[in-house]
A and B are shown apart, each in its own frame.
Chain A
Amino acid sequence: MRLRRLAILQWAGLFGGGIAWACAHVFGYAIQNAECGANRAAWSMSNDAWEASLLGVSMFFVLVAEAAAIAVLRGTASTTYDDDDPPASRIRFLAIAAAVSNVIFFAIIVFDLLGTLFNVACRGS
């Protein structure tokens, strides 16, 4: 039972951050295309507000995924990922992987947020 709960948290931690970043990335870029394309008049929205909301929400979900990964790491503290038997060793192994990857995803979204807020919307490069 405990292992089952840990396994669910492990998968959430592993995939949650990546999905959050992917959504932030795709929809963030799509908003820029909608906002700055020739069809702009039909899609008027405030660039900064939309980007800040989208990226803020994704950052939240990455943090949730990271919390899940850390919870699993603490829950499997007595297990090693190489010497012990699955599923406990597999759960710990993938939680280590999740803990590291969510940090990377968080950093990318921070860069995105700073970049969209501190640049003038739609100015060409």
Chain B
Amino acid sequence: MTEAALPRTTKASGPAVPVIVEQRVGPPAALWGMGILIASEGTLFICLVASYFYLRFETHPWPPDGIAPPRVAIPLIMTAILVATSVPMQLAWRAAQAGRLAAARLALVCALVVQAGYLAYEIHDFQDQLNRVAVTRDAYTSAYYVLLGADHAHVALGILFDVWLLGKLARGLTTYRVNAAQAIMWYWHFVNVVTIIVIGTLLSANV
């Protein structure tokens, strides 16, 4: 194989030294990582919701005899309350990005209080429902409680993220913490969308 016959590009060009800009343009690595988590957990929820509907297509009636379909009003109100916390989470990130530490902390605390209150109520309600209708009764109860429980577990994880972020913000702002605030904000947007879908799925038994 002669030197001349070896493959070459016809144009070995390009900048002599590429310029690294002052301000990062693309999303930070933290946001990519959170995107991966959202993709994975989102797919898990899609599988659980699909399983719910798969079982529903096979079973008549749905819900089975002796089980009342879920209440509509309270779950919708609670979902709206949770989804509303997307606003303070977004404000918290914006404030952190602008360097306004006190505002960021305040917005985060507001979101956290509402989210924790939501979860506390939901856990109480979950246990209450379990006492009345056991999870081991049939496929409907299995699908119902596991789907709902998975949603609550992800809310709990989000609350842990919030507490961690508050702890970090107690010591000031850094690029790392601003990126973390953005990632955790995205996590909450994701959880809120999932909650809408999960509650919608469970309430569809009324249709």
Given a CB threshold of 8 Å, the question of whether A touches B is answered with yes
B11 touches A84 (CB 8 A): yes
- Once the chains are docked, how many angstroms separate the CA of A37 from the CA of B14? 61
Interface residues of chain B: helix, strand, loop or mixed (majority): loop
Within 8 A of A (CB), among B32-56: 53-54, 56
How many A residues, CB 8 Å from partner? 13
A42 touches B10 (CB 8 A): no
Pick out which of these stretches binds chain A: B58-66, B67-75, B92-100, B122-130. Answer: B58-66
Residues in A with CB closer than 8 Å to B56 are 39
A39 touches B9 (CB 8 A): no
B60 touches A85 (CB 8 A): no
How many B residues, CB 8 Å from partner? 13
A30 is an interface residue with CB less than 8 A from chain B = yes
- Looking at the assembled complex, report how far the CB atom of A100 sits from the nearest CB atom of chain B, in whole angstroms: 24
B176 is an interface residue with CB less than 8 A from chain A = no
* Given A33-B54, A39-B56, A85:B14 Cβ within 8 A: yes
- Once the chains are docked, how many angstroms separate the CA of A41 from the CA of B57? 10
A83 touches B9 (CB 8 A): yes
A38 touches B60 (CB 8 A): yes
- Once the chains are docked, how many angstroms separate the CA of A30 from the CA of B62? 17
- Looking at the assembled complex, report how far the CB atom of B29 sits from the nearest CB atom of chain A, in whole angstroms: 22
- Name the CB-closest residue of A to B46: A26
Chain A interface residues toward B at CB < 8 A = 30, 33-34, 37-39, 41-43, 82-85
8 pairs of A and B residues whose beta carbons are closest in the complex: A37-B57, A39-B60, A33-B57, A83-B11, A37-B58, A38-B58, A38-B60, A83-B10
